[in-house]
Amino acid sequence: MMLIRAFELEIQRLFLRGDVHGTTHLYNGQEAVSVGVCASLREGDYVAATYRSHGAALALGIPAEALAAELLGRTTGVDGGRGGSMNIVDLDRGLIGTFGIVGGSIGAAVGAAMSAKRHGGVAVAFFGDGATNQGYFHECLNFAAVRALPVVFVCENNLYGEFTAMASVTAGGDIAARASAYGLPSRKVDGNAIAEVVAAACDAVCHAREHGPAFLECLTYRHLGHSKSDPGKYRPADEHEAWLARDPIELERTRLTQLSVPAERLAELEADVERELATATERALAAPVAAPDNDQACEYAA
Amino acid sequence: MSDTDEQPLEYRAAIAEAIAEELERDESVIFYGEDVAAAGGVFKATPGLQERFGDERVFDTPISELAMCAAAFGAAVTGLRPIVEIMFGDFMALAMDSLINQAAKWWYMSNERTPVPLVIRTAVGAGGSFGAIHSQNPAPWFLSVPGLKIACPAFPADAKSLLKAAIRDANPVLFLEHKRLYSTKGPRPQDGPDELGRARVVRQGGDLTIVALQRGVHDALEAAEELAADGIQAEVIDLRCLRPLDLPTLLASLANTHRLLVVDEGSALGGWGASIIGLVAEHGLEQLDDVWLLASPDHPVPYSPPLERAYLPSSEAIAASVRERAGLRLPTPA
């Protein structure tokens, strides 16, 4: 979680400096969801995630240097600088991809679950509250249920679909209940409490491996706006402050302190993360920018 | 040659044989769609496959075209080789995101590390009075998308050999089967899969080149026989695939004939026919004495049989347009 937070702050800085191009969707505040869920997976499992997925990519073990290089458009990027912030693909680490269109991850995970079923694996789809109003959501939950596919649907409900409040565009108001309607075991958890996410994700993953799809709604909040151009002013100040006070990293720091983990140990961890990230960014920045003289595309796979 | 080799092959049987042989050959191949398993498909192209290969590999799906194609993408990038039947090509509109934004782009976006070996089969084309929303050819919707392959077989032998090639291909392939061809019969293919992206000269002639695909190839061949009676020798090229496009075979033919007619069952603007004429103009302008396009009117496919017949470029319309162009016979004044 610390690495993801530090990474996002660094990307924000590099963006403002003009080194990261296009747009970015930062994950600050939601770290416990992808870290908690990915901790419940094993080798051979698959993840499909969203355009707000630097967190999932790091949680799956993509090195910060390769991810930073991708966002910087470098040849050493995880996808050679061809994808960018919204389009990270790394099947070697189980990441089917991050999907730039809302809901795209859901179908991809359902398909990966057809492969995973053959070797006892599972596939996870991360998506936001906004995706639950897409055709992907309804078609794919039904498809997965009737085929009993080993897939875990993880809704990161951060209360806003882009700039619009979830409650104002979501009939019934209860996302987890939608999954129940398709016959899936469905739970709603505090997505900012990592221990709670891990426990619920382990249950869901076990269920998926043995019996078929499961659903997890993680209530969380993004600290920043939707994308780089959005200051997030549509959110009430008191709501924003209340969620900042429930920062997943600080909640976990408190919990670990209560479990007698020394504050110095946590400070050391934080310093390690800062050092790792500084090296990663420096190396990423030093790599060549992907350009016509070093990247020749071949339209088709042989 | 055995007796079965000498029996003509029906187009729909060619499809079934190709799928069955590839399911048999490769465990990673799966096949699904609406009504394809228990019922054997609405065009009866796939009977008996579920009984033979089991429900895990051949199954019926919900009526959810987006989920079907999206799942094919997810399965393909993780090691399976899905074949999906979309009942009518018109329904492809529901699955565009998964095919265009996912399947077609993953090879490139993954820095050429992640192949996407999937096949979407679908029944396309007019001529059966299915009306405006069950008769289109969706090829132009996909033609401009790099990373996709588009196969359009006109003959049973190609239906089988190109489908086998599509299933073995490492890229997403749209396999467009014309509805008016399912009951046609023809010679069996040579052994083994074919190669996607190669056109074929199906009739030789020195006076003009007619380029067509699917049902249009048969219409062009009929027209060519009619024209031969008038002393015009038409060369007919069956494109067989729209993407990759075999431009060299077209240009080689034009080097002899210098006249090109493209017969496209769809609309002119943005259609595959217009696209080909554009490429020929760019790469072979010095060979061209004449070039024209026979396409359909700019309105949806009609239902009533006379309206639909008038809408489609028939063999008679092809022959008439060649004669008119050649100045052999002017149209009768109204």
Asked if A75 reaches chain B (Cβ–Cβ under 8 Å), the answer is no
pLDDT digits (tens, 9 = 90+) for B162-187: 999 999 999 999 999 999 999 999 99
Q: Which domain holds residue B235?
A: 200-326
Alpha carbon distance B168, A56 (integer Å): 33
Selected for mutation to probe chain A from B60, B78, B97, B149 (highest A CB count within 10 Å) is B78
Residue B178 annotated to the active site: no
Residue of B nearest to A102 (CA): B97
Domain match, B174 and B213 both:
no
pLDDT of residue B43: 86
Q: Between chains, do A113 and B74 touch, taking CB under 8 Å as contact?
A: yes
pLDDT digits (tens, 9 = 90+) for A8-36: 999 999 999 999 999 999 999 999 999 99
Asked if A300 reaches chain B (Cβ–Cβ under 8 Å), the answer is yes
Which residue ranges in chain A fall short of pLDDT 70? Answer: none
Residue of B nearest to A77 (CA): B111
Alpha carbon distance A142, B199 (integer Å): 41
Q: Which of B281, B78, B197 is nearest to A299 (CA)?
A: B197
Q: Between chains, do B71 and A83 touch, taking CB under 8 Å as contact?
A: no
Q: Between chains, do B66 and A135 touch, taking CB under 8 Å as contact?
A: yes
pLDDT of residue B1: 44
Q: Is residue B168 part of a domain?
A: yes
Domain match, B153 and B105 both:
yes
CATH number at residue B24: 3.40.50.970
Q: Is residue B94 part of a domain?
A: yes
Selected for mutation to probe chain B from A92, A126, A139, A294 (highest B CB count within 10 Å) is A139
Each residue of B264-283: b (16+ CB within 10 Å) or e? bbbbbeebbbbbbbeebeee
Single-letter code of the amino acid located at A263: A
Tally of domains in chain A:
1
Tally of domains in chain B:
2
CATH number at residue A162: 3.40.50.970
CA atoms within 13 A on the CB side of A290: 22
Alpha carbon distance B22, B7 (integer Å): 21
Q: Between chains, do A87 and B109 touch, taking CB under 8 Å as contact?
A: yes
Q: pTM for this one?
A: 0.96
Alpha carbon distance B110, B106 (integer Å): 6
CB B155 within 8 A of CB B208: no
Which residues 6+ apart lie within 8 Å of B323 measured at CB?
Answer: B227, B230, B232, B329
pLDDT digits (tens, 9 = 90+) for A120-165: 999 999 999 999 999 999 999 999 999 999 999 999 999 999 999 9
Q: Is residue A297 part of a domain?
A: no
Domain match, B174 and B204 both:
no
Residue of B nearest to A93 (CA): B78
Asked if A7 reaches chain B (Cβ–Cβ under 8 Å), the answer is no
Q: Which domain holds residue A170?
A: 2-286
Q: Is residue A291 part of a domain?
A: no
Domain match, B171 and B225 both:
no
Give the mean model confidence (pLDDT) for residues B131-147: 97
Q: Between chains, do B72 and A111 touch, taking CB under 8 Å as contact?
A: yes
CA dihedral B120, B152, B250, B207 (to 10 degrees): -170
Residue of B nearest to A134 (CA): B66
Q: Tell me whether residue A19 is exposed, middle or buried, using C-beta atoms within 10 angstroms of its C-beta: 0 to 12, 13 to 18, 19 or more.
A: middle
Domain match, B170 and B258 both:
no
